[in-house]
Structure 1
């Protein structure tokens, strides 16, 4: 199959998942993208650019639901912390890191699936900074900053519209800053730019399909859809590392 067609199809699937659950673009597409791109760094850069485009569409449409005072401490922490792993990415064993990430995602999914009714993460500054640190490390190393942020927002926000708006705004700004950091480290190449142009059509199509599904997911089962997808993502990453 043609490389550009594969990227287009991957973007449909990744954008559909992102729009339906609020995250997962990087998790889905990075199970295959490192095998299609010249380097792992270029794969994370392309993933970040496409994920940013997916989130931007939603963030603009749902901007009225964003509460900036609950977002900025976490976002600023993420921006600072994510620069560190991006700088060291060329020196790291990405296979080992991906296996560790897979195990962590599976454990997180199991824990929240069974104990979510007892879990409430208050919107305190310390919690926001802590989530920002964890999300920054995962975003910088893997291009997968979503799970920590998702678990925080789905617990702290009042409904799925606020949850979606907060997540997507966080991802837009975060991916923009990480793209600049990756460009500085030489990962934003002409190959990334060409592949982005082929993938953006898939982003638009997948986002439209995901929006339809999102609007029809009952509120009481929404968080379980998210937790289940985190676990599935962990299994995929663990066995494709």
Structure 2
């Protein structure tokens, strides 16, 4: 990779990791606005995003594993695993440009949802809710490497404390991304280019998670979220016009 590409990769990896450590999700949403322009194919971009996000989530989940209640995580994770397997396989059947345009629509829709709707909807942590959100998360994760929003809705509804919310969301993303990395490898998306980019981005991910952990108790979450959602909307518009 050329030096300016490496610098961009390091910057977005650090920022994406910071966002996810503070808000519980958002790494894939943030980095996938840029990664498709840095990697040879869209499938490779999703592979790199998942590998970096998974590495960050493993570190965080291990540090706060005492807050994990597995029976509240495993059902949605199992459904996600099945759906994402088929979604990852479907990526190769779509044109990269079309996927970028669909990604643009998804980014704009997510930003609108979280700006205006998310705080008005309360979900009960039932098996039916887990099934529905697990399916949506699997499709979004497999196709766009951004399984976070549906899962975050469930964990926000089922977790009594923010520590438990972070623990559940990060173990979900850690295990989910490990599975999807395997699925993507079998579909030929984990290439030497992805491996090289992963090495460059890993240190930045660890740094972003460290900084995010330090400011977790201090940063105004609503301000950060508004900035992220505005960035998502703008990126979606750019992707549609790309």
Taking structure 2 as the reference length, the TM-score comes to 0.90
Structure 2 residue aligned with 1:49: 51
Q: 1:18 aligns with which of 20, 32, 39?
A: 20
Q: Which residue number in structure 2 is paired with residue 103 of structure 1?
A: 108
Contact 2:111 2:229 in 1 (8 A): yes
Q: Deviations over 1:49-75 (max 9, x none)?
A: 000011111100111111111111100
Q: Which residue of 2 aligns with 1:9?
A: 11
3-state SS of paired residue (2:123) = coil
Shift of 1:189: 0.6
Distance 1:137 1:123, change over 3 A: same
The aligned runs of 1:195-234 (5 Å cut-off) are 195-217=197-219, 222=221, 224=222, 228=226, 231-234=229-232
- Quote the RMSD (CA, aligned, Å): 1.8
CA distance in 2, matches of 1:36, 1:208: 25
Structure 2: state its 5+ residue gaps: none
Q: Distance in 2 between matches of 1:159 and 1:88?
A: 37
Q: Deviations over 1:89-124 (max 9, x none)?
A: 1222212311220232033213435xx2x5331111
Q: Deviations over 1:122-157 (max 9, x none)?
A: 111111111100000100110000011112212221
Give 1:225 deviation, angstroms. 5.3
C-alpha contact (below 8 Å) 1:138/1:144 kept by paired residues = yes
Cα pair 1:131 1:152 within 8 Å, conserved:
yes
Distance 2:32 2:164 in 1: 27
Distance 1:120 1:104, change over 3 A: same
- 1:4 Cα deviation (Å)? 1.9
TM-score (ref. length: structure 1): 0.91
| Residues 162 and 233 (structure 1), Cα distance of their counterparts in 2 relative to 1, 3 Å cut | farther
Measured after TM superposition, the shift of residue 233 of structure 1 is 4.8
Cross-structure match for 1:154: 156
Q: How many residues align?
A: 234
Compare 89-98 and 43-52 and name the one that shifted more: 89-98
1:150-209 deviations in Å (ceiling 9; x for gaps): 122122211110110000000001000000000000000111111111111101111111
Change (3 A) 1:98 1:207: same
Kept in 2, the 8 Å contact 1:31–1:236? The answer is no
Superposed counterparts of 1:106-121, under 5 Å: 106-112=111-117, 116=119, 119-121=121-123
Q: Structure 1 residues 67 and 60, CA, compared in 2 at 3 Å: closer, same or farther?
A: same
* Cα distance in 2, alignment partners of residues 171 and 237 from structure 1: 23
